[in-house]
Amino acid sequence: MIRLLAGIGVVLVAGGLGHSAGVIRLYVTDGLPDANRVMLDIWIAQAQLLSGALYIAASRAMRARSNWRALAVFGALTIIGFAIPILPVLVARAPLIFRVPAIIYLVVSLFILVNAARSA
């Protein structure tokens, strides 16, 4: 579980940073889009960065034999709260490459949530 938490945490943080860099580049080259799109891009980056950081913190706490469950649960709930509302939009409007990460994040986060609840 330590490796899963650390791995998904690093992937989420890297994804959030990559998303932010790509969006900034897009905004610089094409100009700012409407406010709704800007808020959506901020939400995506925020969910990835926050969840990733919470998962990394949970893995470190688990390694230190400290209380890791709350960190893992909040990380999972953050990604679940992001993925569930965004998935219908991605399925309807986005290419497959944008759907797959959100599905993986959701499945892994549900797994982490269940494991954190079971080990309580």
Can you give the pLDDT at residue 119? Answer: 86
Can you give the pLDDT at residue 64? Answer: 96
Q: What is the mean pLDDT of the chain?
A: 96
Categorise residue 65: left if φ over 0, alpha if ψ from -120 to 50, beta otherwise: left
% of the chain with per-residue pLDDT over 70: 100
Taking only the tens place, the pLDDT of each residue in 56-113 is 999 999 999 999 999 999 999 999 999 999 999 999 999 999 899 999 999 999 999 9
